[in-house]
Each structure stands twice: as structure tokens, then as C-alpha cells.
Amino acid sequence: MHPAIYIMTNRKNGTLYVGVTSNLRRRAWEHRNGAVEGFSKRHHLVRLVYFEEHPTIASAIRRENR
């Protein structure tokens, strides 16, 4: 699995969360199951709406910051 940036939401036109991960499948599971405390759990951000894979974590972070 490649590093990726991703966007999660809680509903249509709802709150957005942009993140970077080295394992998108695991991270999406963590969001859906509330496995990690923080902003995404408080706002129930469980829907993956967009992702982009990148060759390195550094390039994914640069894209996230844009």
C-alpha cells in the first residue's frame, strides 16, 4: 500500500477532515470504528470521500499542505 492523502466526512455538506497515512485501509477502519481519540472521533467522520496515493510520505504531506 502506498502513502496517501484522504478526506473523510460525517455527512453530505458536513465537516471535513484531511489526513495523511501510510495505510489507507487501516486508517479508514480506525475512523469508522472510532479507534483513535480526537477530532475525527468527536465529529463522527466515517465516510471516505476522496484519496490520492503518492510514491512517498513526503510527497503526500506536501500535497496535504497545498
Confidence of residue 14 (pLDDT cuts 50, 70, 90): very high
Confidence of residue 1 (pLDDT cuts 50, 70, 90): confident
Task: Name residues whose C-beta falls within 8 Å of residue 17's C-beta, 6 or more positions apart in sequence.
Answer: 7, 8, 9, 31, 39, 40, 43, 45
CA 7 – CA 24 distance, rounded (Å): 11
pTM above 0.75, yes or no: yes
Q: Determine the average pLDDT of the residues in 43-66.
A: 96
Judged by DSSP in three states, 48 sits in strand
**pLDDT for 28:** 96
